[in-house]
Structure formats: structure tokens, C-alpha cells
Amino acid sequence: MLIKKSSDIASSEITPQSIYKQRREFMKGAGLLVGGSLLSGVATAQSGDALKARAPAGLKTSPAAPWLQNKFTSISPAPDTAPFYTDEALTPYDDVTRYNNFYEFGMDKSDPSSNSGEFKADPWSVEIAGEVGKPGVYTLEDILKPHDLEERIYRLRCVEAWSMVIPWIGFPLADLIKRFEPTSKAKFVEFETIVDDETMPGIRSRFAIVRWPYREGLRMDEAMNPLTLMAVGLYGEPLPAQNGAPMRLVVPWKYGFKSIKSIVKINFRETMPNTTWVDLQAREYGFYANVNPAVHHPRWRQDMERRLPQTLFDRKVIPTQPFNGYGEQVASLYKGMDLSRYY
């Protein structure tokens, strides 16, 4: 398979050096500013010229617990090298937080940000279950305590052929998994999103055809890959509800629907879990769902993507890369597999 090197990204897609340096400097300073204020997200979003134009007006984020906000005062900045970093232009905060697929809050892209006002990300607990040495129900604080937060700038490619570049805050999923001591039988990890019909109006909708809870899964080696991130924030801020507060998965080489939001259960199992989209339409969505320009979704092509925000005068329709450009890190996981069959 032909795998592009990360150096193949066209120079036109790259943020001018001056702006990105400015942004990097800003991120280093941002740690001082955070201190639990809403302002840091706004300020960060304003640090690049491209972002300035779209500075969020009255942005609404779900208030994170004070202990969690405290954790955000020391974030190690992203290294300046791929794969944990890319200097492609960031998608502005405003777009990242107002253009979401999160059907529990409604089916339109703007529903999650407008309908998630009631959502409570605190208190929060996560059940660890299945083939694991230390099962149990843990508070989010216990889950996060030993982990230092770091920033990672990843491309996010949605199966609907649009993409974003997002500065996540989180820690490697592998570090979390090791703590709970999975047994030798743990071949897959299954995740579940919270179901709360009181605060998630999409769940009450008569037109929804999803069987809740939303479920996703990874093979163990995918889960342990250093790229796989457990995210708790973006743009230096705790995650807003619509982006999966308080804790979500980020698997940058797979289509966005694999990066499950608002996780309440992590289940280790011997067999491949049944995931929500495979359940809905097995012909259109596979378990692996690796970004693959060679395998088209039956209803739209996957060899290019609209990098958001698109404007009609600057269309930014760019070629999609195998494994979303992370092939050097993950292609070996699928050696010998027919990826047109295991899509």
C-alpha cells in the first residue's frame, strides 16, 4: 500500500510559520491564564489571525468540576513534531464546538451545542468491567488522578467527508488501560456513552433509530497505540458537553464516529463488540472504520474531504490520506488484512 509521508502535505494547507509560532507561544502562556476561567478558551481561539475572525461571542461550556479545572493549570504542550502535532491551520473553537454529531442531543449539527445546556458532567463515574484485574465503578477523579494532561493536535476525519484540526487535551488511553490490569483474555475494549433522557433530548426523539447507549470498540492493540488519546479537553479547556464532556476517546486514524463521547463504561472482552453504526448499517460502516480513501462509503466518496471551516471562496477540498495521515504509526496493525473487506 502506498502511504504518504507526513511531509507530503501541501504547503498551502499549512499555517504560516509566524502565526503558528505565535500560537505556540500563546499556548505555553495559556497555562497561566486557565485557572478555571472561561476566558482562556476565548483567548486561545483568538491567538491566530484565522481564528480571530471567528472569536466566539457568548460561548457556553458546561461547568467542569473545580478539581478538573485545576488539572488544566498544568498541561504539557504538544511536541513540535508529528504525529502528535500538525501545523495545519486549526479549526476555530467556535466551529469545533458548534458543528457536532452527537445524536443524543439531536440530529442536526447545531443541536448538540444548543440542546446540551442541561447536561451535567459532574459528578461522573466510570464502570470498568470484563476481563480486567481491577473492575469496579470509579469516580472520574479517581480515573484521572495519576495522569498528567498533554496537548495533542490531531486531524479529525468524519465519515461524512468533512474534517477538522483540533488541539485536544488528554492522556494516552494505554496508560489508563495498564492501571486496571487487563487479563490475557482481553482482546477488545468496548466503550459506552451515558444515556440520560432527562438532559439529552435526542434520546426522547421519535425519529431516532439508534438503540441507546451508543457503543464503540477497539481491538486491544489499537487501544494501546500511543496515538489513541483519552481526551478531557480541547483548546486548553475542559470539554464542552457537545464535544463529549467530561471524557471521550480520540482515535485520529479512524472515522470520527469511533471516537466515542461522554464515556461511562469501559468493558474488556474476548470477542469483538457490537458497535452502534455497524448495528445500524453493517454495509456502510465497519468495526475498523480506518480512514481509507480507497474504500468509498456507498453514499459518498472518501478520497477527499472538506476541511472545515470551508468558505465558498476558499473551498479547501483536499485529498484524504490513508489512515488520515497516521499510516507510519498504525499501518502495521493491519498487516495482512484486506482493508476493503474489513472497512
Partner 1 sequence: MKRVRVLTFFLCLIPFLVLVFKVIQSDLGPDPAKELALLTGEWAINFLLLALAMTPLRQLSGRIEFAQRRRMVGLFALFYASAHFMVWVVFLLGLRWGAILEEVVERPYITVGFSSFLILVALGVTSPRAMVRKLGKNWRRLHRLVYAAGVLAVVHLVWIVRTDLSQAFIYGALLVVLLGWRVLFARHRVRGAV
The residues binding partner 1 (CB under 8 A) are 91, 95, 98-99, 103, 107, 109-110, 162, 207-210, 296, 298-301, 304, 306, 308-312, 315, 317
List the beta bridge partners of residue 129: 267
Residue written as grid cell 495533542? 152
To partner 1, the closest distance from the beta carbon of 51 in angstroms equals: 13
**Nearer to partner 1 among residue 272 and residue 304 (C-beta):** 304
In sequence order, the 6+-apart residues with CB closer than 8 A to the CB of 70 are 36
To partner 1, the closest distance from the beta carbon of 309 in angstroms equals: 4
Measured CA to CA, the distance from residue 237 to residue 134 in angstroms comes to 30
**Nearer to partner 1 among residue 161 and residue 231 (C-beta):** 161
Collapse the DSSP code of 218 into the 3-class scheme (helix H, G, I; strand E, B; otherwise coil) and give the result: strand
**Nearer to partner 1 among residue 72 and residue 162 (C-beta):** 162
To partner 1, the closest distance from the beta carbon of 209 in angstroms equals: 6
To partner 1, the closest distance from the beta carbon of 157 in angstroms equals: 14
To partner 1, the closest distance from the beta carbon of 218 in angstroms equals: 24
**Nearer to partner 1 among residue 43 and residue 308 (C-beta):** 308
Residue written as grid cell 486561545? 44
List the beta bridge partners of residue 314: 311
Measured CA to CA, the distance from residue 268 to residue 340 in angstroms comes to 27
Contact criterion met (CB below 8 Å) for 321 and 265? no
> Which amino acid belongs to residue 101?
N
**Nearer to partner 1 among residue 106 and residue 130 (C-beta):** 106
Measured CA to CA, the distance from residue 137 to residue 309 in angstroms comes to 40
**Nearer to partner 1 among residue 5 and residue 296 (C-beta):** 296
To partner 1, the closest distance from the beta carbon of 303 in angstroms equals: 9
Burial class (CB in 10 A: 0-12, 13-18, 19+), 4: middle
To partner 1, the closest distance from the beta carbon of 50 in angstroms equals: 12
DSSP state of 91: P
Measured CA to CA, the distance from residue 165 to residue 75 in angstroms comes to 19
**Nearer to partner 1 among residue 161 and residue 245 (C-beta):** 161
Collapse the DSSP code of 263 into the 3-class scheme (helix H, G, I; strand E, B; otherwise coil) and give the result: strand
